[in-house]
Structure 1
Amino acid sequence: MPMVLRIEKSRLPSRTALLEASAAAAVAVCLDPRSAQDGEWFPEVSAWVSGRIRKVSRRARGSHWEAVQALPGVTITVDDASVRALVPSLVSETPKEVARLQISGSELPFDTPGPVPDGARVLYLNPRVEMTAGKAAAQVGHASMLLAPHLSEAELAAWAALDYRCAVRTPSPAEWDEMLRRDHVVAVRDAGFTEVEPGTVTVLTLG
């Protein structure tokens, strides 16, 4: 799944908002009616979730950002940050509008997030693991997807009404360790292709 992060030179988005938009966009593609069994996106999404779920974050600005809006996917905007998650495809079939975008250079300064919005699902980043914004965007996108099957139909409907609003926060190491011991915790374990060691738990959320 290509995830395109809008990072304009003249106006950098806040890191937290970008991660929250990434998490919402990824799950929005998977739960979109077009991804259902009779939908136009079903073959691609079904094949993807049945195999190794991988995401690649790329950055775009200006005309390149506008170009990817024409590709199948969902754009989510949170505060000053926008992300478009695209329908998954084979690497060999990556659209030229996406292939030309840079994977590196997505780092953003850390910020202090405000209160968790009402109805948002909270995703917790591992406080002991350093990740670029691009890497973290892919990880929280994976977390929101893993969380969805743990929610009831009513909970999913309420979440959808809020455009799958997520809040991304970083707990203290002690809080993280306590969450790891809880029941019904949803954990993202990274395959270790980039930045972190294989098997590293990067994100937690409570199902």
Structure 2
Amino acid sequence: MSSAEAPEVPEVPEAREFALPLVVRVERDDPPARTDALETAARAVVVMLSDDRSLGDGVWAQAVRDWEDARIRKVVRRARGAEWRKASQLPGITVTGGTAEVRVFPPVPVDGWPKELAKLQVSGTELDDAGALPDVRPGQAVLWLNPELRMSTGKEMAQVGHGAQLLWWALGDAERKAWREAGFPLAVRTAEPARWAELTASGRPVVRDAGFTEVAPGSCTVVADFSVRVN
């Protein structure tokens, strides 16, 4: 090799990007309520994170580690009828709320979705609430949505899932254990504008979106709050 030749540098394969799939059941004539779907999706994320199959040497643990080592990307799809039944046969966990059913699956490479999930629709997930929401109960975590952003319900489900995950990471072992044993009680609410400014400056876990869809990069979408951590 002459002095003018550069040494060969072996190519380093790029790390595969992973996403956590969430599928919400949206039957044509009986859709879930919006806030219940958001709360059920958020609980589904922490149910997955705390499941024995996601920990230690569990069958999903390596996939979870690969996913958590990069961006904690989540993709929400919708299903009905036979689509929902087929999706429910894949390894995962179905979490139910008052009107909502959400199935969460172990993380998958973004370029390697199971075909039963890949064909499900991402867009068009728009849900509504029928009436006033109940007051937040003592012991519930609260995931506060940014009042200044407009997002689709599917996008909101992913964002509150991020918020629940950041909160789970922020809690101590005793707090995690108590929250898990209580069934992960939580509420999703939209903050008042003045309260939002206070929340984002409070040191609580804040979701800052990467900006790939619907909102600008760096937008604060959710602040996670848990009463036992408030001084």
Q: 1:134 Cα shift?
A: 0.1
Distance 2:222 2:99 in 1: 23
**Cross-structure match for 1:121:** 141
Work out the CA distance in 1 between the residues paired with 2:193 and 2:145.
10
Identity %, equivalent residues:
46
TM-score by length of 1: 0.95
Q: Does 1:155 pair with 2:175?
A: yes
CA distance in 1: counterparts of 2:199 and 2:73, whole angstroms = 25
Q: Partners in 2 of 1:118 and 1:13 — Cα distance? A: 25
State the secondary structure of the residue aligned to 1:76: strand
2:96: which partner in 1? 77
Task: Find 1:2's aligned residue among 18, 21, 41.
Answer: 21
**Coordinate RMSD, CA, aligned:** 1.3
Match for residue 16 of structure 2? Answer: none
Deviates more, 1:83-92 or 1:65-74: 65-74
Question: Is it true that 1:96 corresponds to 2:115 in the alignment?
Answer: yes
Contact 1:20/1:165 (CA < 8 Å) preserved in 2?
Answer: no
**Residue 27 (structure 1) aligned to one of 25, 46, 51:** 46
Kindly indicate whether residue 154 of structure 2 is the aligned counterpart of residue 134 of structure 1.
Answer: yes
Q: Which runs of 5+ in 1 are unaligned?
A: none
| Aligned equivalent of 2:35 | 16
Does residue 1:167 correspond to 2:167, yes or no? no
Deviation per residue, 1:90-110 (Å, 9 max, x gap):
122211110111111100124
- Residue 190 (structure 1) aligned to one of 183, 203, 209: 209
What is the TM-score normalised by the length of structure 2? 0.85
Of structures 1 and 2, the one scoring higher in RCO (CA 8 A, sep 6+) is 1
What is the number of residues matched between the two proteins? 206
Report the Cα offset of residue 161 of structure 1: 2.0
Structure 2, unpaired ranges of 5+: 1-19
Cα distance in structure 2, aligned partners of 1:191 and 1:95 = 25
Larger radius of gyration: 2
Counterparts of 1:174 and 1:77 in 2: how far apart (Å)?
33
Distance in 2 between the 1:62 and 1:159 partners?
33
| SS of residue matched to 1:93 | coil
